[in-house]
């Protein structure tokens, strides 16, 4: 059964008071009201107005927050990706590469991004621009990168175990001589 959507565009003028001048400024917004039937399968989806979030992050001012803000502003909005090295990000933001590295590691631990050699993909379950289908497509890419990283991690662990076993075996052979 197809989802039925009723969309209404409201023509209203909305103003905000400029905090510096005190003057009223007209905002360039259109109000859209949408009603969905209960068959919608994407109930947990939340839209985020990135400009507003960026302003809030800018007020916080922490260096790591500046890195996050930069990544969100510069990401390819169609694919939720940013293709830059950590050093390029550091140079653009004006922070150390160590700060960028720590920020990226923290974002990966919190499942906000995943990284693959200079490409950072923002989790489409956190932020996405577009349709449910687009979110699912980006999610497939995101999960694929995570799966590749997990596979490499397990392979390294297996190799380390094997190397450790060889090392113990060699020490035992030397002790037996």
Tens-place pLDDT, residues 1-39:
445 555 555 556 666 777 788 888 776 655 555 555 555
Q: Per mean pLDDT, which of 7-16, 45-54, 152-161 is the most reliable?
A: 152-161
Chain segment 90-141, per-residue pLDDT in tens: 999 999 999 999 999 989 988 889 988 889 999 888 888 778 888 888 888 8
| pLDDT recorded at residue 131 | 80
- Does residue 125 form part of some domain? yes
What total number of domains does the chain contain? 1
Q: Is residue 43 domain-resident?
A: no
Residue 110 lies in a domain: yes
Residue 130: the pLDDT is: 78
Instruction: Supply the pLDDT for residue 1.
Output: 45
In a domain, 103, yes or no: yes
pLDDT value at 85 more than 90: yes
19 inside domain: no
Distances (CA, A) of 100 to 49, 103, 126: 24, 5, 20
For range 45-58, the mean pLDDT: 63
Q: Quick check: is 35 in a domain?
A: no
Q: Is residue 84 part of a domain?
A: yes
pLDDT at residue number 60: 57
- Whether 132 maps to a domain, the answer reads yes
Range of the domain at 176: 63-177
Write the CATH number for 92. 1.10.10.10
What pTM, to 2 d.p., does this model score?
Answer: 0.56
């Amino acid at each position: 059964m197809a989802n039925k959507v009723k969309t209404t565009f409201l023509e209203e003028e909305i103003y905000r008071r400029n905090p510096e001048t005190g003057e009223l400024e007209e905002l360039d917004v259109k109000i859209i009201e949408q009603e969905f039937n209960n068959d919608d399968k994407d109930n947990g989806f939340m839209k985020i107005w990135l400009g507003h979030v960026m302003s809030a992050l800018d007020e916080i001012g922490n260096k790591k927050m500046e890195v996050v803000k930069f990544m969100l502003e510069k990401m390819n909005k169609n694919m939720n990706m940013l293709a830059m090295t950590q050093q390029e990000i550091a140079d653009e933001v004006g922070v150390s590469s160590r700060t960028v590295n720590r920020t990226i590691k923290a974002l990966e631990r919190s499942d906000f991004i995943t990284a693959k050699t200079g490409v950072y993909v923002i989790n489409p379950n956190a932020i996405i621009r577009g349709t449910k289908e687009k979110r699912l497509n980006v999610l497939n890419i995101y999960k694929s990168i995570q799966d590749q990283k997990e596979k490499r991690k397990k392979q390294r662990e297996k190799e380390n175990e094997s190397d450790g076993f060889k090392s113990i075996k060699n020490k035992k052979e030397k002790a037996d001589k």
